[in-house]
Amino acid sequence: MNKLVITPLGTISPYPKDNMNCPGYLIEYHDQKILIDCGSGITRLLNFPHDLKNLNVIITHYHKDHFADIGSLQYASFVYHNLGELNNKIKIYLPKKDIGFNKKAIISNKECYAEYYDIEDKKIIKLDDLSIQFKDNKSHTIESFMVKIENKDFKIIYTSDIGTTNFNELIDYCANADLIICESSFLEKHNAHTNTHMTAKDAALLAKESYAKKLLLTHFWPEEDKTLYLKEAKLYYDNIEIAQEGNKIIII
């Protein structure tokens, strides 16, 4: 039976604090690894050089809290290749449309053992028997890609940074997911007055209305008590966890 293991490496934004890092999720499937986002601090939870082998890195958008550690990862690949411990290049997937010259800076790094691929809306890549699809959620301050990972046994959605301006389309995209890893930057009490990030309530309603089996809340405000996000979301949806660095989730 196929088993997919998801390890949160970073769960807060926009800056790391204490033992918490900015966004990053390591997904392991057979001998493949998928790192979704590479935020500040996440590399300290990776196991080098093991986690560099068969590594596919996906940067969902060009906000620095989602890719600030990419330079460290690139340099690690460079060093371990030179030491003879990394034979195959890591693969880095980046939004095709550059914003603020961030893409140019990443791909121009010469001290790196990597190859680069573009992400575009509706693009699909194949990895083992997995289908990995990208979708511009059209509800953040810049182009931000949701990631759908599925095969015949399961469907996982990572929302990236996302708001509520395109909510009905988001519901359709997440329909019947086994797991939605959804940003929940705010609580209703914050009165954030933004539709380019979600509250815990918004995330719960997305899971409920898309008939998802499970919701994993992430992308918390660093100074806030995470349990308050769970309490708010559980008013609208039942099967919820709050993401914690290092706490593995297994999908079978």
pLDDT in tens, 32-79: 999 999 999 999 999 999 999 999 999 999 999 999 999 999 999 999
Whole-model pTM: value is 0.97
For 91-116, what is each residue's pLDDT tens digit?
A: 999 999 999 999 999 999 999 999 99
In the chain, which residues have pLDDT < 50? none
Q: Report DSSP state, residue 99.
A: S
| Closest to 220 measured CA to CA, from 204, 236, 234, 199 | 199
Q: Does domain 4-251 have CATH number 3.40.50.300?
A: no
Q: How many CB atoms lie within 10 A of CB 133?
A: 17
pLDDT averaged over every residue in the chain: 97
Q: Are strands 114-119 and 90-95 parallel, antiparallel or unpaired?
A: parallel
| Closest to 161 measured CA to CA, from 231, 76, 105, 218 | 218
Residue found under tokens 């690949």 = 77
